[in-house]
Structure 1
Amino acid sequence: MKKRTVEITNETGLHTRPGNKFVKLAKSFESEILVSNESGKEVKGTSLLKLLSLGMKKGSLITIVANGKDEDKAVEELTDLLGNLTD
């Protein structure tokens, strides 16, 4: 299991368009992907609705956990995506 925390820096946070990018990327890995917010709410990273329910705004700290064969690559690529969001 690998995990990493990243800060959302995008002015508008994580909304539908970048959320779709995240979900598409998360589904490309064999590993199970979980995402949690600062209050500890955890959701599957392959569900857009659940991901959006975390309320990721600018400055939010989000933790990504991957468990499986490609967990290192999954965590690296998904945290890079969240850390570099643009509208």
Structure 2
Amino acid sequence: MYSKAEQVTIFRLRTGHDRLKHHLFSRFKTGDGPNCPCGANRQDAQHVLQDCPLLDDARLKYWPEPREINQNLYGSALQLGITAEFIYASDLTI
């Protein structure tokens, strides 16, 4: 079973109602824009889980093999736990 924090993290990543820059800027016009600190034009779940070069080392630690985003967000209980751990280890506020 997941902790409440893990459940909230997965729910927010699945729905896009998170605290990543793209959502905060597009919905509430807060922050300095939707851009990721890596320079990409959009910091969202897809970018964080799959593409952000700033998170490459952490991503390889948790997922040594490339994965589809659906595996990270809708996979087994073990896979969802790994996704939550990755987010916490990356110091991202979701």
TM-score (norm 1): 0.35
* Higher-helix-fraction structure: 2
* Higher-strand-fraction structure: 1
* RCO comparison, higher one (Cα < 8 Å, 6+): 1
Larger radius of gyration: 2
TM-score (norm 2): 0.33
